[in-house]
Every structure is written in structure tokens, then in C-alpha cells.
Structure 1
Amino acid sequence: MKKAVILNLSPRKTGTSMMLANRCREFLSTRDYLVEILHLYPNLKDLSPLLTAINEAESIIMVGPSYIDTYPADTFYLLEELEKNRDILHGQDLYGIIQGGMPYVHTHESGLKMLELFAGENELSYKGGFVIGMGAMLNGQPLDKLLNGKKAASGFEQFLKNVAKQESSPPSLYYQAQLKIPGLAYWFMATLMNRKIDKDRREKGIGDQAKSPYDNLEIN
């Protein structure tokens, strides 16, 4: 029986990232895998459970949200600690799953590029990943609740089949599954979002004319 470890890189133990992690575990468990899900944030002070699981696994799947174009900042801390403990990295397959609020997958893809670069420098075999747009709207609901739910669920299913076979998974899977939004509709959505952000800022006293808290800082 093969072993896989799924690392939840989200600060939340519920939500979209965990929904995807659980879907991975369910799928692989029916295909002769022993699968364990571990959470990064509760283990930040002691990463030894994660390091042990990574050492024992044949496949590593990192799942998390996209915060400003890539995984949460503490993911970098995890990767730095893995580099310090390179003896536990011995050619395991590495896959990434990243989901974010923007509909276009290229806005979140840099998270996967980061994993690919890390794998190339640290004795891991990067096998690809999957990007899901508008993940924040799901808030833990299944993929079929998205506007492009059928395509997203179908593409993700094929990605999981590739993981189970320890094969490379091409970017074309998530590009074909992304929601196609006409330019005019996208402009309208962006305008509404910006207006809401401006309204929230004004209500909190952070308008354009507000004094910057950094104005009186002394630079040594």
C-alpha cells in the first residue's frame, strides 16, 4: 500500500482547502493508498509530525488558499524547514492544489510555480497541480456549486487520477476548467468590488484623505 500525506496550508480547519483535501483523501483511499491529512498552522511551533509524515510518504500533496497570488506566508517557513531537513526528501512526488477568489487561474498559478522551483532544488519530483478560481465563494461547499462547477469537478477528478497513478498532471486541466467571463462582465464585477472596498474604507475612517500612520515615523 502506497502512502500519501496531504498538507493543509490554510489557517482554517474547515473551508474550501479542507474540502479539497478531504476529496483527495477519499479518492486515494479507494485506490490502495494510506492517506493522512496534517494541518500546518497548529504545528508551526513543532513541525516534527509533518516532517515525519513527509519522510514516510511516497506522494506529498500541498493544499491551500491563494493569499496575494500564492500560498499563505507560513508555507514559505515550511519550505525553509524542509530545506534544512533535506535528508527526509528523497524523490517523493510533489503535487499542489491552490484555490483563490479570482476567477482566472493564472492569478493563483504562481503558488504552483513556487512548489515546482522548490522541488527542483530539493530532491523532489514535482508532478503538477490544480488551480481553482473563486474558491472563497465556496466556503467549503463542493466544487459543483461553482458557476463552472461541472468543468471544475471533472478537471479535478482527472487531476486526482493522475495523482493516484503518480503521473504528471498538465496545466491544461485547470485552464480548460476555469470560468470564462466576458470582458464587460468582468469590468462590471471589478467596479462593484472596488466600490464596496472604498465604502468599507470610508466607514472605517481610512479614506483617501486620512492621515498616514507612518507620517511621523523617524528613520534612523
Structure 2
Amino acid sequence: MKNILIISQDASMRDLLVDSLSKHEFSARVVENRQQAAGKIASEAIDLAIVDLSLGREDGLRLVRDFGAKIDLPIIIVSGDNLDEADKVTGLETGARAYITKPFGLPELLTRVRAALRERPERDRNRIFHFDDWRVSAKRRRLRRGTDREVKLTAGEFNLLMAFLKNPGRVLSREQLLVATRVYHQEIYDRSIDVQILRLRRKLGQNTGSTPQYIRTERGAGYVFDRVVNVEELRTRSH
């Protein structure tokens, strides 16, 4: 049974979500603020968080930003407000897998929850990807260059990088990258993907003239990872 953490100050919303999720064989936990959420995540195995922006726009987006950058936790944003595009992009690209506006249908919510909970294939978790002097651990979700310190990536940026590493030399459309990063808000996907690629390029040092151009734009088609990628399979211990 998957554990869902509901973060909301709206009692009626909490009751609605708990009732609906429980009827579909999910285990729901409820907290009211960021501090309680951090404590719950530290003490229990949480599979997905639903963040209601009734917390307040700034607090809610900060929570999504902080959790999305630090842990691999799927997040769904729920809001009664029509956020502007910049705020939607901020929430989605820093960890949220979906954005839902109130009022919403419970079937839509359940669809988003199930989609966000899809596990990554175990095979990918046991792989190390190498290109040039870069090393990417799928299991630990870490990016390093040589002996340098770890390069911090948001959840969206890491998923985007993994999509490229598993398809080197292949042109990937924005729609394919949208699916790979698990961003489901179709209205803004073009800008969301472009912003994430811009930030990923910067973290790979691509903006400097002497640095290889890893992510190349194919005008009118999408993007391509223009480097040879070697894959190292880690052995799993048998008991």
C-alpha cells in the first residue's frame, strides 16, 4: 500500500482527499505545514505528497521547491488560484509531477496520483552512466564531474538528464521530454521544458565557449544529447 502525505490547511480538502484515497487502497497521512511535512517525511516512508497551496502561495511553492530539490519525492500541487505561468513553471520544474486546479474531479486526481507513483524500472536504478568525465548514478540520483563535488539537480532536471542519457544521439521532442520528466500540465509544457534544459545546460557548463555542447537544439524537432554515453551495470547482491 502506497503512503500519500497530504499537506493542507483546508480541513474539508484534507477530509475529501483522505476519504477518496482510502477508498482506492492508498494510506493517507495529513499535516498542515512545512515543518510537520518535513518531520513526517523524515520519520515515515512517504511515496507521494499532495501540496495544497491553501498553505499560502509563497509557503506552498517554497515547500515544493525545497522538497523537489532535496529528495526524490513525487509531488502534486493543488490550488484554487489561477497561478501565473512563472509560478506554475517554478512548481513543476522543481519537483512537482502535476498541477491541479480546484474544483477538480476525483478521477482526475487518482489518475495523476497513479501516474506519479509509477516506479522507475529496477534495471535503471542499478546503472551508472558515463559521458566525457561526467558520472551519473541512477540509484543515488547524483551527477559528478571527475573528482569534483556533486552538481545539485532538481528532480525535474535529473529526470530530463536521464531521458537524454538513455537516448544519446536521438532527437527527443518536447512532448517526449514532457513525459520523461513527468510534467503533466500541457498548457505550459513548452516553456517548462525549455527552462529546464537551459538550467541543465548551465549546470553542465555548456554556456562557456570551451565546453562541449552536450544538449543540442534541433530546430522544429526537439533536442538531442550529442555525446557517447557508456553504461555501467552494478551487480546486485544475492542473499
**Both structures adopt the same fold (TM-score exceeding 0.5):** no
Alignment TM class, shorter chain as reference: 0.3 to 0.5
Which has the higher relative contact order, 1 or 2, with Cα contacts under 8 A spaced 6 or more apart? 1
**Bigger fraction of residues in strand:** 2
Per the normalisation by structure 2, the TM-score is 0.41
Task: Report the structure number with the largest CA radius of gyration.
Answer: 1
Per the normalisation by structure 1, the TM-score is 0.44
